[in-house]
Amino acid sequence: MKSNQLRIAMLSVHSSPLGELGTKDTGGMSVYIRELARELGKQGHLVDIYTRQNNAAGEQCVPASKNVSLIHIEAGTSGYIDKLSLYPHLAEFFQQMERFRMRENRRYDIVHSNYWLSGKVGAWAQMHWHVPHFVLFHTLGAVKNMFPIGSPEPELRIATEKTVTKTCSVILAETERERRQLTELYDADLDKIKVIPCGVNFDRFRPLDWNQARGRLGIHANERILLYVGRLDPLKGVDRLITALSFLDHHQNLRLLIVGGDGSETAEFRSLQELTQNLGLENSVTFTGRVDHNDLPHYYSAADMLVLPSHTESFGLVGLEALACGTPVISTRVGAMEQIIRSNETGYLVNSADPRSLAEGIELFMPQVRDGFLSRAAIRNSVIEYSWEKVAAAMADAYLGAVSCAYPGFVTGTAGRLPAFAV
Ligand code: UDP
């Protein structure tokens, strides 16, 4: 074993990192896990990602990328189980995970859990394996509940998040804002919080030829394209963006492309479509459905601006992806957008989140787009430090720091003892 090689158990109980991006439970968190694991693997660490098996077929252990395996664990009834209903099956998940781990004689130096459900399982792993537990919640229940939109997050989630922040070794936050929220809402220990941002895959997300991208998507050269990319969750504010478009009807050939969602049968889709019809915008709004991650650079490259109208975001990966493709971003002040957008240069930050403010932001930035003042290369360069390579290196440093602190004189692969099988 190489000297600084770490063995990492990455937990993603409710959502497979290899699921279909842009659908209900599969978005930024899945990208985060697959990209971070891939890069950690490339840097020589060993990563096992544990996720619940939510379909019958397939191997239990699947190689995902170099040094990275995806391990499917059966818990609860087969098939999809919604997030909250998964809670009673978490103990079984941990037991099955332990069964696999002992059968395969796998040991870990670190457990890194994602989302509150995995945080609960991570806490058991920390206790039984005697290894540091890193948790990243991705979103916080208490933050979501600050917005009276959609159904409120249950008290069980908030209580679990609070407990996990107390028991874990390191709480990861994606932004300074999230660090503040963790201390203010959960009374989390400031010294335990480590801020490590998300990254972007610069090989995939790069400026493509504008004409070719438009040709491929059937977009005419004289159209002005506003782009939305993401899940169709009410907290994403897509309704506000559609409404904003109705204030921009003096712009000729302005079209909004809405990418993402679970298809035309869902309540979210129907309500957005109804809004579009009520505003008479059928000819200006196109719902594309979900688009494969590998095809998204064509959309970013063909668009004039990405618009992020969210009420709240933990990071806002799509903003970073657009900038990496050289496309400006108009956004509310959410997630990492204030850090990564240079307002008036690489996009525009709107102060208020109502449709009129969004429309004003788009309007104010339009001349820059129309008059060709923007350099796609400069926009991309403005975020060049956000590579997954750097994120993974920072994460590995943090892991090593925590392991060396818990086990002075630590030799990798020996931090955890094989525990007695119990939950
Ligand atoms: N995404 C995708 N196809 C789609 C819609 C979204 O691949 O049709 C990806 C998008 O590229 C991004 C992720 O899903 O990487 C969404 O992450 P973000 O942080 O913006 O939102 P979250 O889902 O975490 O709320």
Residue with tokens 């540091």: 132
Q: What pLDDT tens digit does each residue of the chain (423 aa) get? A: 556 899 999 999 999 898 877 677 788 999 999 999 999 999 999 999 999 997 767 789 999 999 999 999 999 988 888 899 999 999 999 999 999 999 999 999 999 999 999 999 999 999 999 999 999 999 999 999 999 998 899 999 999 999 999 999 999 999 999 999 999 999 999 999 999 999 999 999 999 999 999 999 999 999 999 999 999 999 999 999 999 999 999 988 999 999 999 888 899 999 999 999 999 999 999 999 999 999 999 999 999 999 999 999 999 999 999 999 999 999 999 999 999 999 999 999 999 889 999 999 999 999 888 888 889 999 999 999 999 999 999 999 999 999 998 877 766 655 554 433 333
Q: Whose C-alpha lies nearest to ligand 1, atom 21?
A: 28
Whole-number pLDDT of residue 419: 39
Whole-number pLDDT of residue 185: 98
Q: How far is CA 332 from CA 145, 312, 349, in A?
A: 18, 9, 6
- Ligand 1 geometric centre to CA of 404 (Å): 35
- Ligand 1 geometric centre to CA of 177 (Å): 20
CA distance 143 to 131: 29
Tokens of 93: 């998940």
- Ligand 1 geometric centre to CA of 197 (Å): 16
Q: Report helix, strand or coil for 119.
A: helix
Q: Do domains 7-199+387-417 and 210-381 have the same CATH topology?
A: yes
- Beta strands in 280-391, from DSSP E residues, in sequence order: 285-289, 305-308, 329-332, 347-350
Q: Whose C-alpha lies nearest to ligand 1, atom 22?
A: 28
Q: How far is CA 213 from CA 218, 254, 307, 371, in A?
A: 9, 17, 19, 20
| Atom from ligand 1 closest to the CA of residue 317 | 19
- CB of 260 closer than 6 angstroms to any ligand 1 atom: yes
- CB of 198 closer than 6 angstroms to any ligand 1 atom: no
Fold of 210-381: Rossmann fold (3.40.50)
- Ligand 1 geometric centre to CA of 383 (Å): 18
Question: Of 284, 326, 335, which Cα lies nearest the Cα of 308?
Answer: 335
- What angle do helix axes 155-167 and 115-129 make, rounded to 10 degrees? 40
Residue with tokens 């991208």: 213
- Ligand 1 geometric centre to CA of 21 (Å): 6
Amino acid letter, residue 310 = S
210 φ/ψ angles, rounded to the nearest 5 degrees: -60, -45
The full set of domain ranges for the chain reads 7-199+387-417, 210-381
CA distance 181 to 356: 28
- CB of 326 closer than 6 angstroms to any ligand 1 atom: no
- Our mutation pick for probing the ligand 1 site, out of 30, 296, 341, counting the most ligand atoms within 8 A of Cβ, is 296
- CB of 31 closer than 6 angstroms to any ligand 1 atom: yes
Amino acid letter, residue 187 = D
- Ligand 1 geometric centre to CA of 29 (Å): 9
Cβ atoms of residues 49 and 70 within 8 Å: yes
- Ligand 1 geometric centre to CA of 130 (Å): 34
| Atom from ligand 1 closest to the CA of residue 335 | 19
Whether CATH 3.40.50.2000 fits 7-199+387-417: yes
